[in-house]
A and B are shown apart, each in its own frame.
Chain A
Amino acid sequence: MLPTVRAFGDRAFLLQWPTVGYSEAASAHALSVSHHLRGLGVFTDVIPGYDSVLVGYDPLRMDLLAAKMRLETELPIVPRTFTLGMQHDISVDYSGPDLDAICQSSGLSRDEVVHLHAAEPYRVCMIGFIPGFAFLSAIAQPLRHSRHATPRAHVPAGSIGIAGWQTGIYGLDSPGGWQIIGQTDSVMFDPDREHPFLFSAGDTVRFIPS
């Protein structure tokens, strides 16, 4: 299915796939579209979401209709699937402050929660929020849990969190509202490293309980 193409302000379009919850097909298609559009070099921003892509254009170089026509021409020729990128094994100390809350809401023991969270590899669906924050594909149903009503003022870099069906890794120390179940020593983002970002969208991540 092709996404809808809708104007977003005076310098962007939002490509939106109709999904309810997590859709592996929509995420793969969105990543494939992002990869293709970035390669064209005509758009100022190509920002993938789980089920959408925000595409920015320079309104001094391209008018709204030309940008829309270009997108509508390109979309049908983009492959619907995306070849996964690198695979990462991430060692996790599952002793986060909200692990007990997840045990309570799921009715599972600590070991069962850890086993379930680390059972399947995840896809990196998007990087965003703050530098290096990795938004991963959906977690098993029993682990799903809403965000904290009031975000914590300080969540350390490397924290593994849960928000609804999403799981993710904090790239930096920052405020945040996700339920924190674990911690990794892997550094998601280091601006002084040759490759500042550990992950790219499309990579696969396996959590290894330490």
Chain B
Amino acid sequence: MSLEVIRSGAKALVVDLGRPSLRHLGIPLSGAADRMSFQIANWIVGNAPDAAAIECALGGQAFRFTAPTRFAVTGATAAFSLNDTAIKPHTHHLARPGDTLTFGPASTGTRLYLALAGGVEGAAHFGSRSTYPLAKLGANGGRALAKGDTLATGPEQGAPNTLPTGFAPRLSNHITLRVRSATEYEQLTFAAQRRLFTQPWTASPRTNRMGARLVGGELSLEAAPDMVSSPLLPGTLQVPPDGTPILSLVDSHCTGGYPRALQLILADMWLAGQIGPGTRISFNRCLMEDAPAILATQTALWQSLIEGWQP
């Protein structure tokens, strides 16, 4: 055992890179919502990019170390302190047994990542320790972390690393997501298609890892036949008949029943993982020929620093 949960805040979960390619069985991707911040945190403490770590929503969590542990915090902007001393994100620290790590509220972005050297241990299902509470999959009995839960870490995986200046991702409370159209885009009226790209949207208070309802005006649909349940991906924007679009995120249902208007490009999925209640979102059309180049450039940059980095 090396960590005890003192306060779990709005939500804290064990995450890794999740369960890809199982959507035909109803198993969502899960794992870190912001895969970029998550993999950076692991790299800083010397872990493989897919080692399990802790994702904390909105800040406010507190943890007590019960063994000497190297750790790093990335993701949303918040004040952190080890005991009563303020510490910095995006660098490694060494905690002694009895030390308490406290997160203040997140001011920019939504999800913080706490990586522990050696990675968090716990049960794996379908090759991943990521907690998916609906199906009770992953570490900690498939439950979100609660006060009193304890977590163990594995043996150290490598030497810690120092993030070069300028590499820490900059977050914002008004994000622009690049999108391609999905297959039912034409079912939106011309006015709705225009509105999608010309005004900012605000994630509703019920936003979570499954998805975000986006408030900002109704999107009307052309009269269209009822859709049968059909596949979705993380980053699909659906438009239900009430006109309030729903953006699916990492824990989203694998099928939906509403017209699919947009699909986020893969390179921007990490940014969507920082969406929380109140986040402002604008959509920007990504040209067909640009999307692969954006992903290739992003991947090459991060893989030059972090071996095994995955978009």
Interface residues on A, range: 35 or more
A183 vs B21: C-alpha distance in the bound complex, in angstroms? 30
Interchain nearest-CB distance for B249 vs A (Å): 15
Asked whether A127 lies within 8 Å of B24 as measured between CB atoms, the reply is yes
By beta carbon, the residue of chain B nearest A199 is B25
The interface bits of chain A over 146-183 (1 if a CB of B lies within 8 angstroms of the residue's CB, else 0) are: 00000000000000000110100001101000000000
Q: Is the CB of A91 closer than 8 A to any CB of chain B?
A: no
Contact residues, B296-311 vs A (CB, 8 A): 296, 299, 311
Asked whether B24 lies within 8 Å of A135 as measured between CB atoms, the reply is no
The interface bits of chain B over 105-139 (1 if a CB of A lies within 8 angstroms of the residue's CB, else 0) are: 00000000000000000000110000000111100
**With known contacts A7-B180, A129-B253, A44–B21 Cβ distance under 8 A:** yes
The interface bits of chain B over 13-31 (1 if a CB of A lies within 8 angstroms of the residue's CB, else 0) are: 0000000110111110000
Asked whether A44 lies within 8 Å of B26 as measured between CB atoms, the reply is no
A62 vs B260: C-alpha distance in the bound complex, in angstroms? 24
List A contacts of B265 (CB < 8 A): 9-10
**With known contacts A7-B180, A48-B24, A129-B254, A64–B292 Cβ distance under 8 A:** yes
List B contacts of A135 (CB < 8 A): 229, 255
A201 vs B292: C-alpha distance in the bound complex, in angstroms? 33
Interface residues on B, range: 35 or more
Select A10's contact among B226, B236, B286, beta carbons within 8 Å.
B286
Contact residues, A169-210 vs B (CB, 8 A): 171-172, 174, 189, 191, 197, 201
Q: Is the CB of B223 closer than 8 A to any CB of chain A?
A: no
Asked whether B229 lies within 8 Å of A44 as measured between CB atoms, the reply is no
Q: Is the CB of B228 closer than 8 A to any CB of chain A?
A: yes
Q: Is the CB of B163 closer than 8 A to any CB of chain A?
A: no
Q: Is the CB of B235 closer than 8 A to any CB of chain A?
A: yes
Asked whether A128 lies within 8 Å of B24 as measured between CB atoms, the reply is yes
Q: Is the CB of B266 closer than 8 A to any CB of chain A?
A: yes
Q: Is the CB of B87 closer than 8 A to any CB of chain A?
A: no
By beta carbon, the residue of chain B nearest A146 is B226
A38 vs B21: C-alpha distance in the bound complex, in angstroms? 10
**With known contacts A9-B235, A10-B266, A51-B228, A60–B134 Cβ distance under 8 A:** no
A54 vs B24: C-alpha distance in the bound complex, in angstroms? 9
Q: Is the CB of B233 closer than 8 A to any CB of chain A?
A: yes
**With known contacts A8-B183, A9-B180, A128-B229, A171–B291 Cβ distance under 8 A:** no
Pick 6 A–B contacts, CB within 8 A, sort by A: A9-B236, A22-B228, A48-B24, A52-B230, A191-B126, A201-B24
Chain B positions within 8 Å of A, measured between CB atoms, are 20-21, 23-27, 125-126, 134-137, 142, 179-180, 182-183, 225-226, 228-231, 233, 235-236, 253-255, 260, 262-266, 286, 288, 291-292, 295-296, 299, 311
